[in-house]
């Protein structure tokens, strides 16, 4: 299992960003290392407002 903690910028679509990160991390690790990734958890810890 891989667990990521993020702070995202205000106004973005959190669901879309998280799905994209999960797919990219899974693809990259499986192709680089050859190990099947069973689970990628993405936790949004906060929202940045600038």
pLDDT one-digit tens code per residue, 1-50: 999 999 999 999 999 999 999 999 999 999 999 999 999 999 999 999 98
- Report the predicted TM-score, pTM, of the whole model to 2 decimal places: 0.86
Is residue 38 within 8 A of residue 3, CB to CB? The reply is no
Supply angle C-alpha 21, 24, 26, rounded to 5.
105
Query: What is residue 50's predicted lDDT score, i.e. its pLDDT?
Result: 85
- Domains observed in the chain: 2-48 (3.30.429)
H-helix or E-strand spanning residue 5 = strand 2-9
Is residue 31 within 8 A of residue 4, CB to CB? The reply is no
Query: What is residue 18's predicted lDDT score, i.e. its pLDDT?
Result: 97
């Amino acid at each position: 299992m891989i667990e990521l903690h993020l702070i995202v910028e205000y106004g973005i679509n959190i669901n879309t960003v998280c799905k994209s990160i999960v797919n990219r991390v899974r693809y990259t690790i499986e192709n680089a290392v050859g190990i099947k990734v069973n689970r990628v958890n993405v936790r949004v810890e906060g929202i940045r407002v600038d």
